[in-house]
Amino acid sequence: MLVVRDRTIEHMAARHLDGYRARLLDHLARCFPDRVRALGTGRVHAIADRGIAVTELLGFTTGAEVARYVGLSVIVGDDLLAPPHRGWTAPVLGDAALTPEQKLGRLAVLARRRGHSFGGETAP
């Protein structure tokens, strides 16, 4: 009989999360090089860590959804749940009638309307 201890599962989960975080940071650097350069590595890492931490609570459960949410955060240069962004993001993020894809699409439209440029970079 195979016995998997809790600490083994926790270790495996941590390794998976570390790998995902590294891939996400590489993705951000490829898709948003100008924003990543402007924000600096430390700030981008903080935005990514915060995004990873809150996305499940917001209903984003796939790697692609998390990456889009974090990408939008990088575009606006901050946590989407922090002031002054909360005023325009909270109604969308809290709308239970919207799918995750619809929420992310609306956030991208609202970010553009507020003057956040995606430039020639890949939109999240």
* Residues 99/59, Cβ–Cβ less than 8 Å: no
What tens-digit pLDDT sequence spans the chain (124 residues)? Answer: 655 566 656 656 667 778 899 999 999 999 999 999 999 999 999 999 999 999 888 999 999 999 999 999 999 988 888 888 889 999 999 999 999 999 999 999 999 999 888 765 544 5
Question: How far apart (Å, rounded) are the C-alpha atoms in residues 45 and 111?
Answer: 21
Extended strands (E) in the chain: none
Task: List, for residues 51-81, the tens digit of each pLDDT value.
Answer: 999 988 899 999 999 999 999 999 998 888 8
Are residues 28 and 70 in contact, defined by beta-carbon separation less than 8 angstroms? yes
Is this model's pTM higher than 0.85 or not? no
C-alpha span between 89 and 4 (Å, rounded): 41
How open is the CA angle 9-64-17, to the nearest 5 degrees? 25
